[in-house]
Structure 1
Amino acid sequence: MALSVDRRTEIQVGTTWTVISGDVREKDAVVIERGAKDESAKLGPSKMTFTLNNRHGRYSPRNPRSPYYGLIGRNTPVRFSVRGPESYLQLEGAATSYARTPDAAALDITGDIDLRVELTANWQAAGNVPLIGKYVTATNQRSYMLRLESGWLALWFSTDGTSTWFASQPLPPLPRRAALRATLDVNNGSGGWTASIYWAESMDGPWNLIGVPFTQAGVTSIYNSSSPLDIAPPNVVNSSSLAGRVHRAEVRSGINGTVVASPDFRPRVEGATTWADSAGRTWTVPAGAKVSDREYRFTGEISAWPVEWDVSGADVWVSVVASGVTRRLGQGQKALESTLRRRIPSDPDLVAYWPMEDGKEAGGAYSPLAGVRPLALSGWDMAADDSLGGADALPKTKNGATLRGTIPRSSFAGWQVEGAYFLPTMPATQTEILRVSVAGSVMTTAIVYASTAGIRIEARDSDGTILAFITYTDPGGIADFWGKWNRLAIYTSAASGITYLYASWRDITANSRWFARTAFTGAQGAAVGVTGTYGNDTVGLVLGHLAAFDIPAPSTAVNAPPGSSIFAGADDGFNGESALTRMGRLAIEEADHVSLTTVDGDLSILSTAMGPQRPAVLLDLLQEAATSDGGILYEAVDKLGLVYRDRATLYNQRVALALSYTARGEVPPPLRPAEDDQLLRNDVTVTRRGGSAARAMLESGPLSVQPPPAGVGPYDEAVTLSLYSDDQPQGIAEWRVHLGTWDEARYPTVTVWLHAAPHLVRSVLGMDIGDRLTIADPPPWLPPGVIDQHMRGYTERIGAVEWSLAMNCSPAGPWQIGVYDDPEKGRYDTGGSALASGVTATATSLSVTVSDGTRWTTAPGDFPFAVQVGGEEMTVTAISGTGSPQTFTVVRSVNGITKTHAAGADLRLARPTRYAL
């Protein structure tokens, strides 16, 4: 029997997505592979294979008879989708991506209001993202709005179109699709107004109150604006556009009151651009958004079109192997340059720049800027020092080194010269560090000297006469000038005919800055050259990323900073930024190469702080961040791009797919637990790149480093990670041991037959890499209780009679972590407890001794909770006795195991609290 699934295969012909489903051979299933093969594998390209009929020659790229001639070839985009169970409004995060209905009297609510929206989105996305509202800020036509704000939900309203009020609450962990709601009671009967925030699985409820209602003194009202009602309002300042799906929404006049707008996208036909909702509102969707019913299962590129035919020539076909974007990203891509080399040229005021990252045999330093001649160098040991986080290897002076560079003339209205340096020792006598030549000013030279007596800056005229100078003698400033990586900036500002000449130096690691300033009468001029002469007192000086800017300081204050701050952050390779921040920044900087979506599971749990970003291939830098953080990097299904879900998204997940072994088609064979040592690691050493190391071991227990039979013997690993501080390796090593010694079988393959269990289609379509699945009612030859796994990857087959998913899984148990004050996840386990005497299979009273740690709780409010003895789960309803042994009252055989237990049998919490990394 044919499988009733609307399948669609499309290729991008030129700039147009073209349906080619009619040419996809039905006898050969479409096969999709995504994600990792197991928990330890790194990101690999997704892959889709299918066969195209090519009797007409349409898919022969060099065939001029083909309508696609010249329009398809290497890396032609392709995507595959099925029709989902309902439609949705797809928003792309652009200013033109919204849905709208015009202003109407029914929408001009000035009293109590109730706003609701059901959507699929990244709830923890940074920034402010409007969801629904009548709210235009540019013309002061603000009424009401619901907005996501970096993991919070806020209700905004205005009483006069200009001034605003808001109430907000932090969102709890939500499923990928959820409903949000806010109500405003403008007169709560107590002389004030009250706003309440809710969430639900869907708009059908039940609604869960988030936090406590917000109350403000004074009765209020909502302004009657002329703004339209928008889904994803585009005209709100300090906001970003929503990227995600909207399923339906409501605006009610009054709390639980009359529905005055009810855009429901679920029954809409694909491509609909206008319709009337059940409340009589007419909605339109502009070109930047779309109504769709497609559920994409793969998006990638076809790199080759291998044409094949039989001996008769009557049958011609193309066996297509399409790959995700990482295949192309991994094909000979050059390493990204240092963060300073990448960042500095983006400054609009830059007029000259020499990275000084040239190779060992270079005779000078090239400039990436057109029209800027190379920096002449003599007596330098090139590519000698790579210790600055934001730079590749830089040159170091020998005895008798010089540099000379010409700066193109600029506006004569102020300038700045800056570079990174490391001075190993402070000269005992006044020694030149850097000299800037100036035109258009009475000052023709600005010089910075250094010695143990102080940092001196001089302004000299064309005769060499000193016009002005200052010697900075603060001991802290002198100490910070040498023995560490610094940025030295020489720059000017002016007011009332007076030019102020500055030298400032900034400790790149500590981020501390010192200033020296002098002044003279005359114009600032323009920097036209830079020179340096270095002798024995400055041997070993490292200098790099010398740059000149056509910009003065922003003020004439003693501590006025330089006009350009382009070095900031990039100088130390963005040392200390979080893994999520680094990946997001790289995606912005490399937008032409990769599209990346980051998913933050909990804004209160920061992703791992990274070490310096060193020159490396983009894909390696992204994977480095993912590995250091412990999350999952994988390819998106609906676009050519990547997705990173951080470690926190894996903690305490909701179940995305609930299966039953006994239900037809839900878990067909084979279901084979793997009791192997593939993931076993009980001795882990983690080293911070460029820093120290830490080691963690499991020293007792069945998976410990002890030799059999007490343990399994050593299974060690050593990893080097990009980390910010030496405090991090110990916790990461302990976490990796925790993951590597989780004593539970893994299930390398869990299969679902959707053609036999179509009721699972909605859940499967809503899943993604890393999501959680469970299998209830396992067979009696497997351990009792629910099988709990994370999906790390899958192979999907969709054909004329088959739709199956074979999922690669690993245990979800180690990712169940403690939650403070939670009745189940907030309990500490015993250090050591055992039965004081044996019990029968039906006994409901246990005598329990505590050999290590505190006694078990006896407080009535702490019950019930689950314990496990010999594989049997029991529910403890009461405990008496403050000494040892204590008496437990229990409900037996909670997990279906009924057995006797001998004295000395170990007793533990069934689900103890575990600390997250």
Structure 2
Amino acid sequence: MAVFPLLFRVQIAPGTDVAADPDEWVWQDITQWVRAGGIRITRGRTDEGATTGPSSCTLTLKSPDGRWLPLNPLAPEYPGWRRGCPLRVQVSRAGTWWTRFTGIVGELEPGLASDRAHDTYEVDVLAFGVLQRLGRGSTVRSPLLRLMTGTRWETYAPLEDGPATTSPTVYATKQTAGRATGGVTFGTRDEGLPGSSSVARLESTSARITVPASGAVIVVSDTIVATAQVYMTSPALDVEADLATLTLSGPVVDRIVVRASKTLIRATAYLEETQVGTTSMSWPLGVDPAAGWVGVQVSLTRPGLVPSTEVSVRVHAVGSLVWTSSSAGSITGSSVGYITGVTLLAAGAQGTSYAHLGTRLGGDLPADTAWAAAAYAGEDAGARLERVAADESVPLVPVGVAGTAMGPQPLASLLDIARDVEATDGGILYESLDGRLAYLPRVGRYNRAADLPLTYGQLAPGLAPTDDDLDTSNDWTVSRPGGGSERVVDEEHVAEYGRYEQSATVNVASDDDTRNQAGWRVHLGTVTDLRYPQIALNFGRDATASALPAWLAADCIGARTTVSRVAAGLAVGGIDQHIEGYTETLDRYKWDVQLVCAPARPWRVWVIGDQVLGRLDTAGSGLAVAAGEADPSLVVATDPGLRRWITSAERPGDFPFYAGLGGEVVQVTAISGTSGTQTWSVVRAVNGISKPHPAGTRVALAYVEAQP
């Protein structure tokens, strides 16, 4: 089927909410106005190892009568045609429309038509993917602030205000304002509460923070719970002292006083100054407000349709996801009032600190904040990206389990959090073809089948391999923010190529992860394969057009491409690369692609139980006797003190397999001998290379994949 003339279309969605899901955008065709000369699309990384920038699309619109001039009130698409208008490019192949780009118009540059045949304008259009908008910045919100403003709290005071604050910010169903008196310092960062950007510190024993709570909320439920929650720490609780006072609307309870000491926490309910109920418990093991931050919940509950209420306390240490509850203190009467105010007190100690006070009336306890308080330390990288994108209402292609446990979520914008995930997990952050934010985790690049299998005859001219030290690194030190570090060195590579030292700080969950991180970076940095920075395709050629189904079927960022039947002077045994990015140019009689690639071999990893990828190499072996160019057997010696190779008599089901020596790949059909020196029966030149090898040539497992 002929490729040309290429059927493509350009569409816009004027007046659309760009923050909405792209599936909701309503498209309008403007192809007739697209000027000949080509549509240029760039996606992914522009060179190996670089950070992905926003995808982009450039084209030119013919603009008779100023139709496509920006902000032209006479234009039919006014006011929807402007910066911020969604734009999509699609091509038709075999009766199906395939999306090649979806983004947002970022620049409009009018000018006189290049042919000057008429006194009309044309407009150069530059559209970008969602990374462009995210890169302009977004609100930085702490994990606790993100969670608690997104869940149902009638009143919420983050206590993350700036140093000059006297009236802390309060989010409430009814407008209200907090008040700080007696010496309260705001804006202090405390690493013991990583889920908060700052805390409020009471500098004297008379200091206090008062937060009026919202009015009544109708709750239809058998069980009704009025809850107040706050995070706190105090340097000294030598004697039992007041932490907080809650006022309620009654009629069963109008006040609850929360007191604490080094050994216990107590909540006592009052009605008109008469004690009507109390509960207390010892601080659980690992929960110590004098040594660290603690979450405290106080609840007044009617547990079902019964003529009584209960007062109770729940606590957890920041860093633990386990809440511990006191036994309930029973109170006569079945009506639970709403909380009308909370006063936070110094508990008799200068330096008592608070953060994230909330009140709620509902049919159950509020959403669990324990993990947010720890800034989601230990969260999977993929889950973090999905959660934060949902918080910011940014459409994201589902990531799934990435397999990397993250450290605390940084206090940063969405894009910076996403970049933190990318740097720690080692995947690729990019934009999908349909305009969503996307992330390919590191494990998604392991052992990929060829997404785009090619032959040398399908490539456009200009293939140029490179052997340089652009990404060489054989000595890595990786540290964790506020934690330890590990150094991994490939001494053999250092001896052969010299030392290439690098360091990085990555946000992993524990110090134990830093060694794996350093080792993986050394693994990536010591690949000796040729690089092919640019692989060119011209889909207008008949030979190349047969690769179109594979090209269109996959979102090729991070995909694997192989090239077989390559001239001997350009590759040894074929080309095996990962696509890091590309530039695609479309016109009626042009469809060219320039792939930005990096070697795929480091992404081929060991798999337990796999007949090919699950084999263990020896730690070192080489030829004991020189081998001629066509010798059908090899004498191989394992280095002293190391485990020898298996024999075909011991494990016949594990034969044949492949091994490499001196650039030649052989198929090993049998091995005999149970000492350190063994005889191998081999099929030579599996990769097309056959040559003599001197004694001492190193021998190792090789991977061979069937080529088209």
Given the alignment, which residue of 417, 423, 426 partners 1:627? 423
Given the alignment, which residue of 302, 307, 312 partners 1:494? 302
- CA offsets 1:619-651 (integer angstroms, 9 cap, x no match): 1112221221111111111x2212212111101
User: Are residue 572 (structure 1) and residue 374 (structure 2) matched?
Assistant: yes
User: Paired residue for 1:242?
Assistant: none
User: Are residue 19 (structure 1) and residue 18 (structure 2) matched?
Assistant: no
Deviation larger for 360-369 or 644-653: 360-369
Which amino acid in structure 2 is aligned with residue 826 of structure 1? G
Residue 315 to residue 521, structure 1, CA distance change in 2 (3 Å):
closer
SS of alignment partner, residue 183 of structure 2: strand
How far residue 676 of structure 1 moved from its aligned partner, in angstroms, is 1.4
Distance 1:317 1:569 in 2: 54
- CA offsets 1:75-118 (integer angstroms, 9 cap, x no match): 221111110224xxxxxxxxxxxxxxxxxxxxxxxxxxxxxxxx
Distance 1:11 1:456 in 2: 62
Q: Contact 1:335–1:615 (CA<8 Å) still a contact in 2?
A: no
Residue 810 to residue 461, structure 1, CA distance change in 2 (3 Å):
same
State the Cα RMSD in Å: 2.4
Given the alignment, which residue of 504, 519, 522 partners 1:737? 522
SS of alignment partner, residue 382 of structure 2: helix
Where in structure 2 are the equivalents of 1:92-131 lying within 5 Å? Answer: none
User: Paired residue for 1:528?
Assistant: 340
Q: Contact 1:43–1:623 (CA<8 Å) still a contact in 2?
A: no
Given the alignment, which residue of 859, 862, 879 partners 2:654? 862
Distance 1:722 1:453 in 2: 35
SS of alignment partner, residue 132 of structure 2: helix
Q: Contact 1:657–1:763 (CA<8 Å) still a contact in 2?
A: yes
Q: Contact 2:210–2:342 (CA<8 Å) still a contact in 1?
A: yes
Residue 668 to residue 471, structure 1, CA distance change in 2 (3 Å):
closer
How far residue 389 of structure 1 moved from its aligned partner, in angstroms, is 2.3
Q: Contact 1:364–1:377 (CA<8 Å) still a contact in 2?
A: no
Residue 718 to residue 478, structure 1, CA distance change in 2 (3 Å):
closer
How far residue 353 of structure 1 moved from its aligned partner, in angstroms, is 1.4
Distance 2:441 2:325 in 1: 41
Q: Contact 2:180–2:210 (CA<8 Å) still a contact in 1?
A: yes
- CA offsets 1:796-835 (integer angstroms, 9 cap, x no match): 1122332111100000000111122222211111211111
Which amino acid in structure 2 is aligned with residue 32 of structure 1? I
SS of alignment partner, residue 451 of structure 2: strand
Given the alignment, which residue of 285, 292, 303 partners 1:484? 292
Q: Contact 1:367–1:375 (CA<8 Å) still a contact in 2?
A: no
Residue 2 to residue 771, structure 1, CA distance change in 2 (3 Å):
closer
Given the alignment, which residue of 380, 384, 387 partners 1:582? 384
Given the alignment, which residue of 452, 472, 495 partners 2:262? 452
User: Paired residue for 2:21?
Assistant: none
Given the alignment, which residue of 538, 563, 566 partners 1:753? 538
User: Paired residue for 2:47?
Assistant: 38
Distance 2:313 2:47 in 1: 56
SS of alignment partner, residue 617 of structure 2: coil
How far residue 905 of structure 1 moved from its aligned partner, in angstroms, is 1.4
Q: How many residue pairs align between the two structures?
A: 674
How far residue 578 of structure 1 moved from its aligned partner, in angstroms, is 0.9
Where in structure 2 are the equivalents of 1:368-387 lying within 5 Å? Answer: 368-369=171-172, 370-387=174-191
How far residue 471 of structure 1 moved from its aligned partner, in angstroms, is 4.3
User: Are residue 294 (structure 1) and residue 124 (structure 2) matched?
Assistant: no
User: Are residue 306 (structure 1) and residue 109 (structure 2) matched?
Assistant: yes
Distance 2:344 2:549 in 1: 69
User: Paired residue for 1:813?
Assistant: 601
Where in structure 2 are the equivalents of 1:325-404 lying within 5 Å? Answer: 325-331=130-136, 333-348=137-152, 350-369=153-172, 370-387=174-191, 388-400=193-205, 401-404=207-210
Residue 452 to residue 54, structure 1, CA distance change in 2 (3 Å):
closer
Distance 1:63 1:533 in 2: 60
How far residue 470 of structure 1 moved from its aligned partner, in angstroms, is 4.2
Where in structure 2 are the equivalents of 1:21-420 lying within 5 Å? Answer: 21-26=31-36, 28-86=37-95, 293-309=96-112, 313-314=118-119, 316-331=121-136, 333-348=137-152, 350-369=153-172, 370-387=174-191, 388-400=193-205, 401-410=207-216, 414-420=225-231
SS of alignment partner, residue 11 of structure 2: strand
Q: Contact 1:696–1:737 (CA<8 Å) still a contact in 2?
A: yes
SS of alignment partner, residue 639 of structure 2: strand
How far residue 469 of structure 1 moved from its aligned partner, in angstroms, is 3.3
How far residue 72 of structure 1 moved from its aligned partner, in angstroms, is 0.7
How far residue 616 of structure 1 moved from its aligned partner, in angstroms, is 1.4
Which amino acid in structure 2 is aligned with residue 416 of structure 1? T
- The structure with the largest strand share of the pair is 1
- CA offsets 1:215-264 (integer angstroms, 9 cap, x no match): xxxxxxxxxxxxxxxxxxxxxxxxxxxxxxxxxxxxxxxxxxxxxxxxxx
Given the alignment, which residue of 651, 667, 673 partners 2:446? 651
Please, which runs of 5 or more residues in structure 1 have no aligned partner? Answer: 87-292, 555-562, 705-709
Q: Contact 1:825–1:912 (CA<8 Å) still a contact in 2?
A: no
Distance 1:470 1:74 in 2: 61
Distance 2:645 2:231 in 1: 60
- CA offsets 1:245-287 (integer angstroms, 9 cap, x no match): xxxxxxxxxxxxxxxxxxxxxxxxxxxxxxxxxxxxxxxxxxx
Residue 524 to residue 482, structure 1, CA distance change in 2 (3 Å):
farther
How far residue 14 of structure 1 moved from its aligned partner, in angstroms, is 4.1
Q: Contact 2:294–2:318 (CA<8 Å) still a contact in 1?
A: yes
User: Paired residue for 1:845?
Assistant: 633
Please, which runs of 5 or more residues in structure 2 have no aligned partner? Answer: 17-25, 219-223
Which amino acid in structure 2 is aligned with residue 762 of structure 1? P
How far residue 545 of structure 1 moved from its aligned partner, in angstroms, is 0.7
Question: What TM-score do you get using the length of structure 1 for normalisation?
Answer: 0.70
Residue 317 to residue 446, structure 1, CA distance change in 2 (3 Å):
same
How far residue 315 of structure 1 moved from its aligned partner, in angstroms, is 5.1
Residue 452 to residue 394, structure 1, CA distance change in 2 (3 Å):
closer
Q: Contact 1:436–1:447 (CA<8 Å) still a contact in 2?
A: yes
How far residue 324 of structure 1 moved from its aligned partner, in angstroms, is 1.3
How far residue 404 of structure 1 moved from its aligned partner, in angstroms, is 1.8
Where in structure 2 are the equivalents of 1:610-759 lying within 5 Å? Answer: 610-637=406-433, 639-661=434-456, 663=457, 666-701=458-493, 704=494, 710-756=495-541, 757-759=544-546
Q: Contact 2:480–2:508 (CA<8 Å) still a contact in 1?
A: yes
Q: Contact 2:7–2:588 (CA<8 Å) still a contact in 1?
A: no
- CA offsets 1:473-500 (integer angstroms, 9 cap, x no match): 4x64595444222111111123643332
Q: Contact 2:15–2:80 (CA<8 Å) still a contact in 1?
A: yes
